[in-house]
Copies of this chain bind each other. A is one copy, B any other.
Amino acid sequence: MSESLERYEAEKQENYQARFNKLQISLEEDDIKGFREDFLDMHTYEQASFFREQPVELRRWIYGYLSPAEFAEIIESMDFEETLEYFTEMDPQYSGAIMTELPVDDAVDILSLLEKDEVASFLTLMDQESAEEIKLLLNYEEKTAGSIMTTEFIALYDTQTVEQVMKLLKEEAPDAEMIYYLYVVDEAKKIVGVLSIRDLIVSDYDALIKDVMSEWVITVSAGKNQEEVAQLFMDYDFLAVPVVDFQNHLIGIITVDDILDVVDEEASEDYSKLAGVADGEHHTDTPFEAAKKRLPWLIILLFLGLFTASLIGQFEETLEQVAVLAIFIPLIAGMAGNTGTQSLAVAVRGLATGNFGKQGKFKWLLRELGTGMITGGVSGVILAIVIFIWQQNLVLGLLVGVSIFASLIVATIAGAFIPILMDRLKIDPAVASGPFITTLNDITSILIYFGMATSFMSYLV
């Protein structure tokens, strides 16, 4: 960062601080009017930052200062896990009213974090119409288009005129989540077209919607996986897509801001799985919480490691005769583990972006066989030569070289095959996480190495 950029950022920071200090004073002096004036002038994200810094007593005052609709906007900008604590602090009527004011997709996300009976009691506190909509949405499976869509959208009929629609927008725009794309339906509520606000603005006021809309609408069905929906947004640069049921009825829309969260969430999940960390680990966790989340994997690995140890134990006689064999264990296991992780990562990314076709997966495995033969061949030849020169032992060099050749081929194919198999079994391929593949490849590579060493023992001693 250049110095002037740093200064610029620092000035912006001071600006924030001054605003916050002024607000803090109004709040502590119980100056409702002054507080509301400054507070409501800020973006909801800043409102949330300020609110979050307050102790529980002052948070309770803030609930009293703001209408449920005003507070709902703050909730919207928060991480929903975080909001659960605040809901418990509120008067039940107030929290029910907030739930009613929230965009339905957000209300559903929050409710899906709660136990069934808590959800039921929330629903009784809410406006009946909203409660019905939410019940409907709660039925969609997690991580599908249905679960991230909102039902607050504006639908038009193709027989309306541009002018009528502009008037309609004037009335409905404040409530709808997305007004930049408008979806057009026929009398049976089946989707027949789409038009953007841009199309609307550049059209004559008396033109018919049917003449200015595009009939070529991309829709997603409610059961579609959210990751595939995200891919669609990236391919088409959409700001929203309509969600339809099997009869092509428009039942909701998904907006780009939710997709941004999906992309971030899915990427972070894949990343965590590759590293063998529970996705829920947060930097504010205490050491105990963090350890509790990491230990399950470590204990699985511990027992896999003991299994590997018992396998090597089978070769103890070999080891006692040729102790030098032991020094290459980390090299062979490490390289096999890393090769497997490489091919795993490429396969998981490929599956996530839907880049393989049906035949593509078999072709992919063949390609990985080729890649493994090349990386294994190159590494094997280098190792054989280096070890021959270093240890003055041709047989040992050949043994390690050939073991690496075979191990890298097996590891490369395993790294590609396992996620593809999991995908076929409809399990998220990212579950075949890094530590698992690494340990699996540790074991096979050591078996190859010691198996060969034992067979050629007579040449080694």
Chain A residues within CB distance 8 Å of chain B: 1-2, 4-5, 8-9, 41-43, 45, 76-77, 166, 169-170, 173-174, 179-180, 197-198, 201-202, 216, 218, 221, 223-224, 233-239, 246, 256-257, 259-261, 263-264, 267-268, 270-272, 274-277, 281, 283, 285-288, 290-291, 294-295, 297-299, 301-302, 305-306, 308-310, 312-313, 316, 319-320, 323-335, 337-339, 341-342, 344-346, 349-350, 355-356, 360, 364, 367-371, 373-375, 378-379, 382-383, 386, 390, 408, 434-435, 438-439, 442, 446
Tell me if B1 and A223 are in contact (CB < 8 A): yes
Q: Are B341 and A434 in contact (CB under 8 A)?
A: yes
- Complex: chain B residue closest to A383, CB-CB: B302
The reply to whether A271 and B270 form a contact with Cβ atoms under 8 Å apart is: yes
| Given contact pairs A257-B237, A291-B371, A306-B331, A341 touches B275 in the complex (Cβ within 8 A) | yes
Assess the B233–A2 pair: CB atoms within 8 A: no
Most buried by B among A271, A274, A299: A271
- Pick the residue among B43, B263, B308, B408 that contacts A216 (CB under 8 A): B43
Given known contacts A264-B263, A275-B274, A330 and B312 CB-to-CB distance under 8 angstroms: yes
Q: State the Cβ distance, A110 to closest chain B Cβ, in Å.
A: 16
Q: How far apart are the CA atoms of A334 and B329 in the complex, in Å?
A: 11
Contact of A338 among B8, B285, B301, B332 (CB under 8 A): B301
When C-beta atoms are compared, the residue in chain B nearest to A430 turns out to be B271
Given contacts A309-B328, A341-B434, A342-B297, contact A302 B379 (CB under 8 A): yes
Question: Judging by beta carbons under 8 Å apart, are A435 and B375 in contact?
Answer: no
A sample of 5 more A-B contacts (CB under 8 A), given A8-B221, A294-B375, is A45-B235, A180-B197, A308-B334, A319-B327, A326-B329
A446 to B283, CA, bound (A): 29
B260, B268, B335: the one within 8 Å of A256 (CB): B260
| Closest residue of B by beta carbon distance from A316 | B323
**Cross-chain contact A283 with B356 (CB below 8 angstroms):** yes
**What CA separation (Å) do A369 and B286 show in the bound complex?**
11
- A and B contact pairs by CB, cutoff 8 A, 25 listed: A41-B216, A43-B236, A233-B260, A239-B239, A256-B257, A267-B267, A272-B345, A274-B345, A275-B341, A283-B356, A290-B346, A291-B370, A291-B374, A294-B371, A294-B375, A298-B379, A299-B378, A309-B328, A316-B324, A325-B326, A329-B330, A330-B333, A330-B442, A334-B337, A337-B337
Complex Cα distance A140/B198, Å? 30
State how many angstroms separate the Cβ of A218 from the closest Cβ of chain B.
7
Residues of chain B contacted by A408 (CB below 8 angstroms): 298
Contact of A294 among B285, B310, B319, B342 (CB under 8 A): B342
Interchain nearest-CB distance for A139 vs B (Å): 14
> What separation, in Å, do the CA atoms of A270 and B270 have in the docked complex?
11
B338 touches A276 (CB 8 A): yes
